[in-house]
A and B are shown apart, each in its own frame.
Chain A
Amino acid sequence: MSMVTEIAVANMKYHKSKNILTGIAIFLTTLLLFLVPTIGMDLINCQKAAINEVYPTWHALYRNVSEDTAKRLSSHHMIESFGLRSDLGYIATDDANIAMMYMDAQAVEMYQLKLSEGRLPEEENEIVLSRGILETLSLSGEIGDTVTIPYQVYRNGSLDFIREKDFVICGFLPDTGESKEQKSYTSLVAKAFLNEEIPSDEIGYRFLLQIDTEYAKDTEKIEESIRQLAEQFDISEQDYRINEDYLWANYVDPSFIPIMLLIMLIIIVAGIITIYSIYYISMGERVQEFGKIKAIGATTGQLRRIVLLEGFLVAGIAVPLGLLAGTLLTKYVFLSFFKLYRNENMLMSTIQGLIQGGEVQLLVPWLYLLATGVAMLTVFLSLLRPMKIAAKVSEIEAMRYTGEQTTKKSRKGYSNITVTRLAMIHLAGNKKKSLVTICSMAITGLFFMVVATVLSCADPKEAADNSVMGEYQISPVIEFNNKEHPELEWSQVQKDNPLTEELKEQILQVDGVNSLECYLANYVNADAFDGDREGIIGVPESGRELLENGIIEGNVTYEELKSGDKVIIDKNLLYWFPDLKIGDVIDVSFRDKDEECKKQLEIAAIGDYSLGFTSFHYLIMAEEGLRSFSDHNLNMYYRIFADKKYDADVEAKLKAIVEENGRIEMDTWKAHYDEWNSGMTLTRCACYAFLGILGAICIMNMINTMIHSVHVRKKEIGMLQAVGMSDLQLLKMLQFEGLFYTVGTLIVAVGGGSVAGYPVFLWAKDHGMFNIRNYHYPLAATLVMIAVLVFVQVILVFVIGKSVKKDSLIDRIRF
Chain B
Amino acid sequence: MSEIVKITDLVKYYHVGENVVKAVDHTNLEIERGKFTAIVGRSGSGKSTLLQIIGGLDRPDSGEVMIDGTNLFKLKGNQLAVFRRKKIGFIFQDYNLIPSLNVWENVVLPMGLDGRKVKKEDVLKILEQIGLDDKVEAMPNTLSGGQKQRVAIARALVSSPAIILADEPTGNLDSKTELEVMALLKKCVKDFNQTLVMITHDETIAQMADVVVVIEDGKVVKKA
Chain A interface (Cβ within 8 Å of chain B)? 400, 402, 406, 408-419, 421-422, 425-426, 429-430, 715-716, 719-729, 808-810, 813
Rounded to whole angstroms, the CA-CA distance of A422 and B112 in the bound complex is 10
- Interface residues in B86-120 by Cβ distance below 8 A to A read 86, 90, 92, 96-102, 104-105, 108-114, 117-118, 120
Q: Are B96 and A410 in contact (CB under 8 A)?
A: no
B156 shortest CB reach to chain A, Å? 9
6 residue pairs bridging A and B, Cβ less than 8 Å apart: A408-B139, A415-B108, A417-B108, A722-B84, A724-B113, A810-B52
Interface assignment of B141: CB less than 8 Å from any CB of chain A: yes
Q: Are A411 and B98 in contact (CB under 8 A)?
A: no
- List the 5 shortest-distance A-B pairs measured between CB atoms, nearest first: A724-B85, A417-B112, A429-B100, A410-B137, A726-B81
Chain A: CB-nearest residue to B89: A723
Residues of A within 8 Å of B117, CB to CB, are 416
Q: Are B141 and A402 in contact (CB under 8 A)?
A: yes
Rounded to whole angstroms, the CA-CA distance of A408 and B142 in the bound complex is 9
Q: Are B137 and A724 in contact (CB under 8 A)?
A: no
Residues of A within 8 Å of B120, CB to CB, are 415
Q: Are B58 and A813 in contact (CB under 8 A)?
A: no
Rounded to whole angstroms, the CA-CA distance of A402 and B118 in the bound complex is 29
Number of A-B contacts (CB under 8 A): 111
A260 shortest CB reach to chain B, Å? 44
Interface assignment of B155: CB less than 8 Å from any CB of chain A: yes
- Given known A-B contacts A402-B99, A727-B77, A411 and B57 have beta carbons under 8 A apart: no
Q: Are A426 and B100 in contact (CB under 8 A)?
A: yes
Rounded to whole angstroms, the CA-CA distance of A418 and B137 in the bound complex is 17
Residues of B within 8 Å of A729, CB to CB, are 113
Q: Are B81 and A417 in contact (CB under 8 A)?
A: no
Residues of A within 8 Å of B175, CB to CB, are none
Q: Are B82 and A724 in contact (CB under 8 A)?
A: yes
Q: Are A414 and B96 in contact (CB under 8 A)?
A: no
Residues of B within 8 Å of A417, CB to CB, are 101, 105, 108-109, 111-113
Interface string of B45-76 (1 = CB under 8 A from A): 00000001001011000000000000000000
Interface size class of B (residues with CB under 8 A): 35 or more
Q: Are A727 and B57 in contact (CB under 8 A)?
A: no
Given A719-B98, A722-B55, A723-B84; 9 other pairs, CB 8 A cutoff: A411-B102, A415-B118, A415-B120, A416-B118, A719-B96, A721-B81, A722-B84, A722-B90, A727-B78
Residues of A within 8 Å of B141, CB to CB, are 400, 402, 406
B111 shortest CB reach to chain A, Å? 8
- Given known A-B contacts A402-B99, A410-B102, A723 and B110 have beta carbons under 8 A apart: yes
Residues of A within 8 Å of B104, CB to CB, are 413, 415
Interface assignment of B138: CB less than 8 Å from any CB of chain A: yes
Q: Are A409 and B113 in contact (CB under 8 A)?
A: no
Most A CB atoms within 10 A — which of B90, B102, B120?
B102
B168 shortest CB reach to chain A, Å? 12
Q: Are B85 and A716 in contact (CB under 8 A)?
A: no
Q: Are B57 and A813 in contact (CB under 8 A)?
A: yes
- Given known A-B contacts A408-B139, A425-B100, A716-B99, A725 and B81 have beta carbons under 8 A apart: yes
Rounded to whole angstroms, the CA-CA distance of A76 and B136 in the bound complex is 87
Q: Are A813 and B96 in contact (CB under 8 A)?
A: yes
Residues of B within 8 Å of A400, CB to CB, are 141
B163 shortest CB reach to chain A, Å? 14
Rounded to whole angstroms, the CA-CA distance of A715 and B108 in the bound complex is 19
Q: Are B101 and A724 in contact (CB under 8 A)?
A: no
B172 shortest CB reach to chain A, Å? 11
Residues of A within 8 Å of B77, CB to CB, are 726-727
Most A CB atoms within 10 A — which of B101, B135, B141?
B101
B157 shortest CB reach to chain A, Å? 12
Q: Are A416 and B108 in contact (CB under 8 A)?
A: yes
Rounded to whole angstroms, the CA-CA distance of A729 and B77 in the bound complex is 12
Chain B: CB-nearest residue to A427: B100
B212 shortest CB reach to chain A, Å? 25
Rounded to whole angstroms, the CA-CA distance of A418 and B116 in the bound complex is 10
Q: Are A728 and B78 in contact (CB under 8 A)?
A: yes
Chain B: CB-nearest residue to A721: B81
Most B CB atoms within 10 A — which of A412, A723, A808, A813?
A723
Q: Are A813 and B92 in contact (CB under 8 A)?
A: yes
Chain B: CB-nearest residue to A417: B112
A723 shortest CB reach to chain B, Å? 5
Q: Are B105 and A724 in contact (CB under 8 A)?
A: no
Q: Are B112 and A416 in contact (CB under 8 A)?
A: yes
Rounded to whole angstroms, the CA-CA distance of A41 and B97 in the bound complex is 57
A206 shortest CB reach to chain B, Å? 79
Residues of A within 8 Å of B98, CB to CB, are 716, 719-720
Residues of A within 8 Å of B136, CB to CB, are 413
- Given known A-B contacts A406-B141, A410-B142, A418 and B78 have beta carbons under 8 A apart: no
A414 shortest CB reach to chain B, Å? 6
- Given known A-B contacts A411-B139, A813-B96, A723 and B155 have beta carbons under 8 A apart: yes
Rounded to whole angstroms, the CA-CA distance of A419 and B105 in the bound complex is 12
Rounded to whole angstroms, the CA-CA distance of A418 and B109 in the bound complex is 8
Rounded to whole angstroms, the CA-CA distance of A715 and B95 in the bound complex is 12
Chain B: CB-nearest residue to A403: B99
Q: Are A412 and B110 in contact (CB under 8 A)?
A: no
A454 shortest CB reach to chain B, Å? 43
- Interface residues in B110-158 by Cβ distance below 8 A to A read 110-114, 117-118, 120, 135-139, 141-142, 155
Residues of B within 8 Å of A727, CB to CB, are 77-78, 81
Chain B: CB-nearest residue to A717: B98
- Given known A-B contacts A425-B100, A726-B82, A808-B58, A418 and B139 have beta carbons under 8 A apart: no
Rounded to whole angstroms, the CA-CA distance of A88 and B74 in the bound complex is 108
Chain A: CB-nearest residue to B120: A415
